[in-house]
Structure 1
């Protein structure tokens, strides 16, 4: 069995500003402070983005505050799924790539993403990209601050049901 792990934002989908808007709303609702600026998001996990954004606003945050933020963020993504669908989009070839791999014997697909799991599920459902993804096997932002650990988490979760063979493809292929 081979495990294929996908990132979500800028790999499978683009939210075209909706993700940032919903982050800002959840941030304000949890901290009581309007988000004037957001920490760097590319390659970061939600807890890190939240913590660093709070720091930019002079707010001391803790895990409980992040968990409140995560719940509110998931609620807002559900409530604004229509806006995400209208403004965002699946990236070209994403659906075809997922479907092609789904047709291959011995391939399991999941995600490794800085998003929290409920938001990851919503984002992919909105664009019809959730069909071939095995969400229970993924690595999510709430699992660890370090993205490399998310890969290890996904492999460990998958190994409970399937033996996973590691292979590294050359970046030049």
Structure 2
């Protein structure tokens, strides 16, 4: 059985330099006419979940997530060049993606809280778009619950390839770990975000890596 390796984006593959967060605030004010007051915790959450929380915190009741996301995507598109200028790839990412990409027993995709258009802009900014079958990914518009994104990605992969997969989820937050475990997936965590390695281990990650700079250790974790 082949492995479906599901990559989180932010602080697992790359950091975006705050570009998307700034676009989020701008789009929110433009669409709702409400001044931005509270910055939520974005890490590990889906855009649908964050959107609901932000609307509630600001008392917004007359705007839909679809309307907000449409403007948000437009704004990100105008500043997409800033991802590479202000952000960076996490250590070892190009090497591990290239290695796994050469293996016939591996299919790589994205499971991310980002809306699909912004996910695509982020990975394209760093030349990573060829590494993933993005069509079978799970995205922040699929559901507000992160575990559902893993499930949707598995469903899409099975439908496209006509075969079952052994799922592997790799991310930097407790939400990534719990989403993996809820789907009987192997949970690989990297301590490259704000969550300490001890917290990722306590959440039940099967393997916790400091980062992906040790290619041998990363390959063993993802394929062993």
Mapped to 1, the partners of 2:50 and 2:160 lie a distance apart of 32
Q: Name the one with the larger strand percent.
A: 2
Moved more, 3-12 or 21-30: 21-30
Q: Secondary structure at the match of 1:139?
A: coil
- In the other structure, the counterpart of 2:3 is 2
- In the other structure, the counterpart of 2:207 is 171
Aligned positions, number: 171
Structure 1 residues 85-122: Cα deviation after superposition (integer angstroms, max 9, x where no partner)? 21111112111111111011121110111101001001
Matches within 5 A, 1:82-101: 82-101=81-100
State whether structure 2 residue 140 is matched by structure 1 residue 141: yes
- In the other structure, the counterpart of 1:23 is 24
- In the other structure, the counterpart of 2:80 is 81
Moved more, 152-161 or 74-83: 74-83
Q: Secondary structure at the match of 1:152?
A: helix
- In the other structure, the counterpart of 1:112 is 111
Gaps of 5+ in 1: none
Q: Quick check: 2:115–2:141 contact (8 Å CA) kept in 1? A: yes
- 1:38 shift after superposition: 1.9
Mapped to 1, the partners of 2:149 and 2:62 lie a distance apart of 22
Q: Secondary structure at the match of 1:42?
A: coil
Mapped to 2, the partners of 1:123 and 1:165 lie a distance apart of 26
Mapped to 1, the partners of 2:80 and 2:41 lie a distance apart of 24
Mapped to 1, the partners of 2:165 and 2:75 lie a distance apart of 38
- 1:43 shift after superposition: 1.4
- In the other structure, the counterpart of 2:101 is 102
- In the other structure, the counterpart of 2:14 is 13
Moved more, 11-20 or 161-170: 161-170
